[in-house]
Chains A and B, each alone.
Chain A
Amino acid sequence: MVGPSSQADAGWPADRWAGSPSDLEARSTALRRIRVCDLSGQLAGAGATRILAAFGAQVIRVEDPATSGGWDIVRGAPPYNDERRGIEFGGSFNNHNTEKLGITINLRTERGRDLLTRLITISDVVTENFAGGVFARLGFPYERLQEIKPDIVYVSHSGFGATGPYRDFRTWGPIVQAVSGLTFTSGLAGQPPAGWGFSYMDHLGAYAMAIAMLAALWHRDQTGEGQWVDLAGVEVGLSLTGTDILDHHVNRRAPRSPGSVDSNRAGAPVMAPHGIYPALGEDRWIALACRDDADWARLADAIGEPWAADARLATLAARLAEQDALDARLAAWTAGQGGQELADRLVAAGVPASPVRTPAERIDGTPATPGWDLWPTVAHPDIGPARVEGLPVHLSETDWSLRRGAPRLGEHNRFVLGELLGVGEAELAELTAEGVI
């Protein structure tokens, strides 16, 4: 399957932005032919459509006017860029929804459901991350979406998926992480689980959702067939613990008990020393690892103390057997040294090392990944210019671009409902007055 597909000109529009005002138009050319009718939000959903938007897809976020978009708990929530508060001032919302268009539709009303139906007719993808079954109860089960547009790609993302005994249970990132094994596998020996300290699964769930959309679009381009992809965050999470599951099954191990995990030590491959050690300063730390005996020899050389030169530590087996004592010695050595300076010295000697970098250091210090422009500035109509997360990829021909901030509530009603759906001025006014939009 090399080269342009025979389905390439099978009737899908070549450019969803054709004829749109230039201030709205996406800059990336990669996915300009894709339009996403996006009912998803928070990070687990918004983080997925954000990737497509950065690559030029026309992502239209549909929010509820009756609750001022309040279903998305991130809208208007901290952090804030300044002292101003309100639904347009949430910093994370601005980050997660950059480059999208925003409209309002009240799906409790028949006219609202009609508007959504018309939007689906001209979309390639429909996305949502309500709890399992909610979108169907609003009148839009997959069967209905198919009636509206036979080749639609529909991706639903919930904590537990669209079927099964926990379908109606409510979750957010930390709950998904806990139930899927990722919280358990993060911690220090003799301590309770540390978890991740953030909604790791909102990120990874969003990435899986983006992959699902793109793979389904690929299939649609080849065959003309749409489909429904049901994503359960817990299943995405468990798919990130495969070697643990395989190990316990194949080797018939009993389930581990709480406190038995030390994830700062090496699992696969086995290494020692391998950990996070104190550095000079309050709450400063350095991670270092010896991949093999040669790394250890280099580290021992850098340490330059008699205990490190002990020939008994030359083998991995010996270092593993004495890991607690070795870690204590190392910690005593690292504690008096600046984390960045020591890491630089070890890396120059060929030993993997890095300080535990604070957000200020990794974002505004010397970037570990050079020349990337990882933190672009977008313009939000109320917040003003603000830095957001870029993408950790660069495409040589059709790279991503982020320049517009998150949409205000209903900011693009006139363009999307008026221009794209052909709703006249008088009707728009009426829909607004009736609370439909």
Chain B
Amino acid sequence: MNGPLRGLRVLELAGEFSAYPGKVLADLGANVIVVEPAGGSVTRSWGPFAGDEPAPEASLQWRHYNTSKRGILLDLGADADRERFRRLLVDCDVLLEGLATREVTALGLDPATFADDYPSLVWVSVTPFGRRGASPDVPTTDLTLLAGGGPAHSCGYDDHTLPPVRGGGGQSAHVAGSFAVASALTALLHRTVSGRGQHVDVSVDAALNVSSELATTQYLADGGIVRRQTGRHAMVDQTAPTQVEAADGHHVVLGFPPRAAEDYASIVEWIDLAGLRDDFPDVVLLELGVERGGVAVVELATDPLAREIWNASRDAMMLLAARLPAYDFFLGCQRRGLVAGFVASPEEAVADPHLVARGFATEVTDPYTGRVETHPGAPYRFSRTPWRISRPAPRLGEHTENVLKTGWAQD
């Protein structure tokens, strides 16, 4: 079975911001060759490492972000290898890179003129502040980009003596890389009609700026500035907590407070089932809520009883959350049609019964070490052309000889 992008030729120059879009294309079936400099990409020096021993073949950063790719070594500072690079580029559909402008210039590539030599090439640049106008030497990391681009401002705790928080996992590369892939595919779909390629300029900072949801739309609408709040949406006004520590020390997340009569009936039934009626005298308010057919949001401003019922339902959910293990609370809510979640670590989440039933986790065996690697599986399930990891990440120069001999042909 082949992915939807079978046959598409992608040349990726290894780097922090080209790796993820390269993986997305490769796992969707594209023929991706990742080019590393002699000695290997700097990203091979990034942990974590298999066995906690730093080594180019043990970088799990590399192992994860380079699945389904072939890998070659080229010294792009040397004429002979630059010529090899150019030969590959002539028959290539997509060039993916995140190099500094001076490095691109050294390769003889210029967005204004590359189409003369490579008329059908879609050239995608993913750089911190875009290729078109940014000063070339602004040093950045994932942390500084997320701080400047918006997400960190919305993230943290009610207690503002604690700093804003950067979400983990190298997300700046995912946000920008997603736009790189979507834009590359857009340019390819246009090429199908026009026959012409083009340059795609992606700014990581701009991508984060338009991926910060309410902080942005609030400001654009009325100039309001949202404030970070523990484990829930940053808002202009302080809101009630929605994240609760459950009986087992894990956390749950509540949805919008219930308001339908059947929701109130379910909560009353659950309170009794959990033996909490004596601990929660306000259960009578919920029973009133059942009798009056629920509470409408518009009544909250005018009807004091509606407000009391509404608050009682929130209190009941908080109590149930605190008295039950997190996962039991999640299932108990969802089976009663109440929106709720539990906070899982990635390592727990991948073993969740739902994901196991869907066969999500994907095992890849490295033929060199025999090591079995568990990766996240398909983010999208194509009925006809399934996503798949077609090979483990390449070892240093694993395909150099083969690619230089046979070019884009796949084994």
Which B residues from 374 to 398 make CB contacts under 8 A with A?
374-385
Do the beta carbons of B216 and A372 come within 8 Å of each other? no
Do the beta carbons of B380 and A347 come within 8 Å of each other? no
Q: B350 on the interface (CB 8 Å rule)?
A: yes
Do the beta carbons of B220 and A363 come within 8 Å of each other? yes
Which A residues from 184 to 224 make CB contacts under 8 A with B?
184-188, 191-200, 202-204, 207-212, 214-219, 221-222
Q: B344 on the interface (CB 8 Å rule)?
A: yes
Task: For residue B18, give the distance in angstroms from its CB to the closest CB of chain A.
Answer: 15
Residues of B within 8 A of A230 (CB): 380-381, 383
Task: For residue B210, give the distance in angstroms from its CB to the closest CB of chain A.
Answer: 4
Task: For residue A100, give the distance in angstroms from its CB to the closest CB of chain B.
Answer: 16
Do the beta carbons of B375 and A246 come within 8 Å of each other? yes
Q: Contact mask B109-128 → A, CB, 8 Å, 1/0?
A: 00100000000100000000
Do the beta carbons of B163 and A264 come within 8 Å of each other? yes
Residues of A within 8 A of B63 (CB): 246
Do the beta carbons of A245 and B341 come within 8 Å of each other? no
Contacting chain B: which of A111-119, A280-288, A411-419?
A: A280-288
**How long is the Cα–Cα vector from A255 to B176 in the complex, in angstroms?**
29
Do the beta carbons of B165 and A251 come within 8 Å of each other? no
Q: B84 on the interface (CB 8 Å rule)?
A: no
Q: A179 on the interface (CB 8 Å rule)?
A: yes
CB-contact partner of B353 in A165, A181, A287, A360, under 8 A: A165
Please report the total number of A residues contacting B with Cβ < 8 Å: 165
Residues of A within 8 A of B348 (CB): 181, 255
Do the beta carbons of A357 and B207 come within 8 Å of each other? no
Given A14-B193, A170-B337, CB of A161 within 8 Å of CB of B381: yes
Q: Contact mask B184-226 → A, CB, 8 Å, 1/0?
A: 0111111111111011111111111111111111111111111
Q: B76 on the interface (CB 8 Å rule)?
A: no
Do the beta carbons of B4 and A216 come within 8 Å of each other? yes
Do the beta carbons of B190 and A360 come within 8 Å of each other? no
Do the beta carbons of B341 and A398 come within 8 Å of each other? no
Task: For residue A71, give the distance in angstroms from its CB to the closest CB of chain B.
Answer: 15
Given A175-B341, A186-B168, A245-B350, CB of A251 within 8 Å of CB of B52: yes
Do the beta carbons of B231 and A183 come within 8 Å of each other? yes
Task: For residue A234, give the distance in angstroms from its CB to the closest CB of chain B.
Answer: 7
**How long is the Cα–Cα vector from A396 to B253 in the complex, in angstroms?**
44
Q: A55 on the interface (CB 8 Å rule)?
A: yes
Task: For residue B398, give the distance in angstroms from its CB to the closest CB of chain A.
Answer: 19
Do the beta carbons of A172 and B339 come within 8 Å of each other? yes
Q: A291 on the interface (CB 8 Å rule)?
A: yes
**How long is the Cα–Cα vector from A256 to B344 in the complex, in angstroms?**
10
CB-contact partner of B380 in A203, A208, A261, under 8 A: A208
Residues of B within 8 A of A271 (CB): 141
Residues of B within 8 A of A31 (CB): 186, 189-190
Q: Contact mask B287-311 → A, CB, 8 Å, 1/0?
A: 0000000000000000000000000
Do the beta carbons of B153 and A358 come within 8 Å of each other? yes
Residues of B within 8 A of A227 (CB): 4, 382-385
Q: B56 on the interface (CB 8 Å rule)?
A: no
Q: Contact mask B343-357 → A, CB, 8 Å, 1/0?
A: 111111110111101
Do the beta carbons of A285 and B225 come within 8 Å of each other? no
Q: A277 on the interface (CB 8 Å rule)?
A: yes
Given A95-B217, A165-B354, A185-B169, CB of A215 within 8 Å of CB of B28: yes
Q: Contact mask A366-386 → B, CB, 8 Å, 1/0?
A: 001111101100000000001
Task: For residue B406, give the distance in angstroms from its CB to the closest CB of chain A.
Answer: 16
Do the beta carbons of B7 and A238 come within 8 Å of each other? no
Residues of A within 8 A of B204 (CB): 392
Given A79-B218, A195-B155, A398-B198, CB of A1 within 8 Å of CB of B133: no
Q: A426 on the interface (CB 8 Å rule)?
A: no
Residues of B within 8 A of A386 (CB): 220-221
Do the beta carbons of B219 and A363 come within 8 Å of each other? yes
Do the beta carbons of A375 and B220 come within 8 Å of each other? yes
Task: For residue A393, give the distance in angstroms from its CB to the closest CB of chain B.
Answer: 4
CB-contact partner of B144 in A165, A287, A363, under 8 A: A287
Task: For residue B130, give the distance in angstroms from its CB to the closest CB of chain A.
Answer: 5
Q: Contact mask A153-187 → B, CB, 8 Å, 1/0?
A: 00100001101111001111111101111111111
Residues of A within 8 A of B64 (CB): 242-243, 246
Q: B249 on the interface (CB 8 Å rule)?
A: yes
Residues of A within 8 A of B195 (CB): 3-4
Do the beta carbons of A197 and B156 come within 8 Å of each other? yes
Do the beta carbons of B155 and A196 come within 8 Å of each other? yes
Residues of A within 8 A of B162 (CB): 188, 191
Do the beta carbons of B349 and A181 come within 8 Å of each other? yes
Residues of B within 8 A of A178 (CB): 251-253, 341-344
Do the beta carbons of A182 and B169 come within 8 Å of each other? yes
**How long is the Cα–Cα vector from A230 to B213 in the complex, in angstroms?**
24
Q: Contact mask B1-45 → A, CB, 8 Å, 1/0?
A: 001111111000000000000001000100000000000000001
Q: B171 on the interface (CB 8 Å rule)?
A: yes
Q: A326 on the interface (CB 8 Å rule)?
A: no
Do the beta carbons of B231 and A194 come within 8 Å of each other? yes
**How long is the Cα–Cα vector from A247 to B48 in the complex, in angstroms?**
6
Task: For residue A279, give the distance in angstroms from its CB to the closest CB of chain B.
Answer: 10
Do the beta carbons of B93 and A212 come within 8 Å of each other? no
Residues of A within 8 A of B385 (CB): 216, 219, 227
Residues of A within 8 A of B93 (CB): 1-2
Q: A235 on the interface (CB 8 Å rule)?
A: yes
Residues of B within 8 A of A1 (CB): 7-9, 93
In the complex, the 10 A-B pairs of residues with the closest C-beta atoms, listed nearest first: A91-B221, A181-B346, A392-B206, A287-B147, A197-B154, A371-B133, A175-B341, A207-B178, A354-B148, A241-B346
Kindly list 17 other residue pairs between chains A and B, CB separation below 8 angstroms, not including A155-B380, A187-B165: A31-B186, A170-B337, A178-B251, A181-B350, A185-B168, A204-B175, A207-B178, A241-B349, A245-B375, A268-B46, A268-B48, A275-B163, A285-B164, A369-B129, A393-B179, A395-B198, A396-B111
26 A-B residue pairings within 8 Å (CB atoms): A82-B222, A160-B354, A163-B357, A174-B232, A195-B253, A200-B151, A200-B171, A200-B213, A210-B178, A217-B189, A227-B4, A236-B380, A243-B61, A250-B374, A269-B45, A275-B143, A276-B152, A276-B165, A354-B140, A354-B145, A354-B147, A355-B147, A356-B152, A359-B153, A372-B203, A398-B198
